[in-house]
Structure 1
Amino acid sequence: MGKLTNSMVNALTEPGRYADGEGLYLRISPAGGRRWVLRIQIHHTRNDITIGDARHISLKNARLEAAALRAQVAKGGDPAEERRKAKKKVPRFEEAARRAHAEMCKGWKNGKHQQQWIETLELYAFPKLGKRTVDKIDGPMIRDVLAEIWLDIPETARRVRQRIGAVLDWCCAKGLRDSEAPMRSLARGLPRQPKRKGHFAALPHFEVPAFLDTLRAKPMSAGTLALELLIITAVRSGEVRHALWSEVDDDLTIWTIPAERMKMGVEHIVPLSRQAADVLRRARQLSIDDNPYIFPGPISGAALTDMALLELVRGMDVPVTVHGFRSSFRDWVADETDTADEVAESCLAHSVGNKTKAAYLRTDFFRKRRAVMQLWADHCLPPARIVAMPAQPVATIQQTPVPVRNAATLPPLRRHAYR
């Protein structure tokens, strides 16, 4: 039997705590508030759990609620934690994905990756999972999302799987679900994907000059010029598409790509050949007033998309990728010159050797890279085929003549030096 009665409860007015027994108290605040409170040990820690307002909960009901809470604790439960979870709003998957993306993308330097990350979820995950709260998403639900694309677009499907897992793990870290993403068990619920064979499709280096002849025969546009510069400088697609006029020196001999736009996160200085300078001079004719991009889109004025160059290559009916031209350059260096591997890899902005070697090798081989890149440009576009500038340049073109280095200072070609 409890110590309190209904008449006592109604008569009590003094602020304080009045015990009924087994941890149940009537607590009266100085302001006159009256609440039922249960004091109980949960995992060896004392907790005061509020049952409710004594004006609306009778003594009998308070005792019943206290008994239920004690029974829950006896079974290993934690009523206080359960109440905290109930108060916390659990977001739906779409909301959680956008919040997780906003936090994680701050550490990503690739703008294309930032956009693709959320777009893949919008396209493939949100239709089935977007409106479900994250605490209710389980393995079978994720499996159903992936099953539709697992064999048709395997690489994209793997990315969707990884990104769904990243969102759910983020939710777990935030206390929005009890466990991390159940990704390990998915392997048994999905068929084996075909193995990806080979690397980026590339054009044999001896076919690159003919490819460029065909490219230069097309009407001049930001896309054709960007692809031409990409080939003769051996840079990555994103580096040339987002190139800015402020990154190129006045003489059109050096292009400095800042670290935040490089895959390796290190500033890369590109020596510009005479042919590369010619591309930039022609790009000036298409420049838009006050537009910082060297190759702006014709309509938006923003940087070209990756699909712009890819569609251009596809339209030329050759089974290669844009990235494959870097491989064409690397094969040419190995087959046709005696260039050291460190210099060739530095031309591609790759890390040189292991960490120990890189710690001591601080040079960027700029002088040697300039010679190699001029040789490559001469191979791709022999000087006799370079299109001359118009006699009357447009107002945005610098009219100071571009200095030309003596070709006699360049190292001679050596065929099949690497075997």
Structure 2
Amino acid sequence: MARPKHKLSSAELKAKPPGKYSDGDGLWFHKRPDGGAQWFLRYTLFGRRHEMGLGSFPAVSLKAARQEAEKWQAVVRDGKDAIKERERQNREAERNLNILADIAKDAFESRKAELKGDGKAGRWFSPLELHVLPKLGKMPVSQIDQRDIRDTLAPIWHTKADTARKAMNRLSICMRHAAALGLDVDLQATDKAKALLGKQRHTATNIPALPWQDVPAFYQSLDGGSVTELALRLLILTAVRSFPLRNIHLDQIDGDIWTIPAEAMKGRKGATSDFRVPLSQEAQKVIAEATPLARNGFLFPGVRKGVVSDMTMSKFMERRGMAERPHGFRSSFRDWVAETTNTPHDVAEIALGHTVGGAVERSYRRTDFLEQRRKLMERWALAITSQSTHVVKLEVPR
């Protein structure tokens, strides 16, 4: 059957008086009394007549209107309602326009419960915030490919390898999160980007640590009574990580025991129990000295709000001309234990809050060696408050 000949021409459209004019094949031109005009498609499906708007004139030209009409008539011939099909496609397109910044925030919110301190320190989100979102944050996540990721992380791929690795990991989580939301994303984009970026040349280096022989002199120099100095003293005495130390709350202290909530303990994945830290007499003295400075129950408050930052303690050591960092005192303690005591391996590792043994072994071993660790930490306190650094073998009962 011959296709109907088009009835309208571009030249006559503006001069048309108000009314509805057929161009053929279901395409109509509607000129309103106010001078405005629009296109619509008239079609019949399952015995019912429908009218579908195709845009206003002259924004949509006659040629463009005919192309749209032809596209949607093909949909009708397939037995689908053109209006409903267009709505479905619009919903899908709208869903796929979710920008990465919003997806990243949603992914972060959904993972807060499994992050230390509910992610309040911002360490999970910061690699994205600093190195990915400034370039890709406003981009629809469905349009992000390996080239975009490569170009974004290439400047730090070798020079800041660990940060780049974390950023890539977080981005991969965001892409999987988007897929779980029903968005059309390339789940292999990060792996492809890694292949384009190549193997990282950067070699990881350990955090600089002060030799244990030099710890006593440094500890005894922390005599200013400031929050930073008191925090560093307790950090050294307990050999814990910076986060639980900086967030220590008076409610967590009971006599000579400091109980760190399980969620604040890094390196104890899957742990459901809190971690008890025995406090030496020297550690209790530091806590007593810091208590008057506490704010909202936090022993080491920040200058304006929150708690003292890890950067504040690091900068304090840097101003002393030191390359070492606060976290390194854990290594100082571990070296001291290995070189000057006969402490069993498991006791030494648990003193650092490390998980020891497999799941089955841990299920049978119910002790946390508190009494043995209590004696060990008392001896460590004596060692760093002593004027002498003479090595003495210390026996720790098995």
- TM-score, normalisation: structure 2: 0.75
Q: What is the match of residue 234 of structure 1?
A: 239
Unaligned runs of 5+ residues in structure 2 are: 2-21, 27-43, 54-67
Q: Is the 8 A contact 1:201 1:319 kept in 2?
A: yes
Q: Please, which of 223, 226, 247 is the counterpart of residue 221 of structure 1?
A: 226
- Once residues 86 and 356 of structure 1 are traced to their aligned partners in structure 2, the CA distance between those partners, rounded to angstroms, is 50
- Change in Cα spacing, 1:199 to 1:221, as seen in structure 2 (3 Å) is same
Matching of residue 134 in structure 1 with residue 168 in structure 2? no
1:344 and 2:348 are equivalent in the alignment: yes
* Alpha carbons 2:171, 2:190 under 8 Å: kept: no
**Residue pairs, 1:85-104, within 5 angstroms:** 85-86=92-93, 88=95, 90-104=97-111
Q: Secondary structure at the match of 2:191?
A: coil
1:25 matched to 2:32: no
Task: Name the residue aligned to 2:299.
Answer: 294
**1:108 partnered with 2:124:** no
3-state SS of paired residue (1:376): helix
For 1:191 and 1:163, the matched residues in 2 are separated by 19
2:141–2:185 Cα contact (<8 Å) kept: no
Distance 1:105 1:196 in 2: 30
| 1:255 to partner: Cα distance | 1.0
Give the superposition deviation at 1:171.
1.2
Match among 259, 262, 284 for residue 259 of structure 1: 262
2:393 aligned with 1:414, yes or no? yes
Structure 1 partner of 2:376: 372
1:174 maps to a residue whose letter is L
Deviations along 1:239-276, one digit per CA (max 9) or x if unpaired, are 11000011112x4x111112122222431111111110
1:24-64 Cα shifts (integer Å, max 9, x gaps): 4233xxxxxx548xxxxxxxxxxxxxxx58xxxxxxx9897
1:323 to 324, 327, 331: 327
Cα distance per residue 1:68-95 (max 9 Å; x no partner): 466799xxxx999746513536212212
Deviations 1:288-319 (A, max 9, x none): 4xx2101111322x211111111122222222
- Which deviates the most, 205-214 or 270-279? 205-214
What is the alpha-carbon distance in structure 2 between the residues aligned to residue 247 and residue 87 of structure 1? 49
2-structure distance, mates of 1:286, 1:86: 56
CA distance in 2, matches of 1:72, 1:157: 51
2 CA distance for matches of 1:180 and 1:79? 27
| Identity between Structure 1 and Structure 2 (%) | 35
**Unpaired stretches in structure 1, ≥5 consecutive residues:** 10-22, 28-33, 37-51, 54-60, 386-411
Kindly tell me: are residues 70 and 414 of structure 1, through their superposed partners in 2, closer, same or farther at Cα, counting changes over 3 Å? Answer: farther
Determine the C-alpha separation between the residues in 2 that align with 1:142 and 1:132.
12
Where do 1:10-89 residues align within 5 Å?
A: 24-27=45-48, 34-35=49-50, 52=52, 65-68=72-75, 82=89, 84-86=91-93, 88=95
Structure 1 residue 182 and structure 2 residue 184: aligned? no
Q: What SS is found at the alignment partner of 1:220? A: coil
Query: Whole-Å Cα distance in 2 between the matches of residues 312 and 148 of structure 1?
Result: 30
Separation in structure 2 between the aligned mates of residue 324 and residue 298 of structure 1, nearest angstrom: 24
Alpha-carbon distance change, 62 to 186 in structure 1, aligned in 2, over 3 angstroms: closer
Which residue is equivalent to 1:361?
365
- Provide the secondary structure at the position in 1 that maps to 2:208: coil
2 CA distance for matches of 1:268 and 1:415?
25
Matched residue pairs, number? 338
Question: 1:145 pairs with 147, 152, 155, which one?
Answer: 152
1:17 alignment partner in structure 2: none
Task: Verify the 8 A CA contact 2:219 2:385 in the aligned structure 1.
Answer: yes
Letter paired with 2:393: R
RMSD: 3.5
Q: 1:194 corresponds to which letter in structure 2?
A: R
- Return the letter of the residue paired with 2:225: M
SS in structure 1 of the partner of residue 354 of structure 2: coil
Cα 1:85–1:317 change in 2 (3 A) is same
State the one-letter code of the partner of 1:267: D
The answer as to whether partners of 1:334 and 1:416 remain within 8 angstroms in 2 is: no
**Counterparts of 2:188 and 2:178 in 1: how far apart (Å)?**
9
**Structure 2 residue corresponding to 1:201, chosen from 201, 205, 208:** 208
SS in structure 2 at match of 1:185: helix
Change (3 A) 1:345 1:84: same
Q: Displacement, 1:282?
A: 1.1
Distance 1:87 1:414 in 2: 70
2: CA distance, partners of 1:190 / 1:113: 31
Distance in 1 between the 2:362 and 2:114 partners? 24
How far 1:148 sits from its partner (Å)?
1.9
CA contact (8 A) 2:150 2:194 kept: no
Instruction: Tell me the equivalent position of 2:279.
Output: 272
Instruction: Please report how far the alpha carbon of residue 351 of structure 1 lies from its aligned counterpart in structure 2 after TM superposition.
Output: 1.3
- TM-score of the pair, normalised by structure 1: 0.71
SS at match of 1:319: coil
Code of the aligned partner of 1:108: L
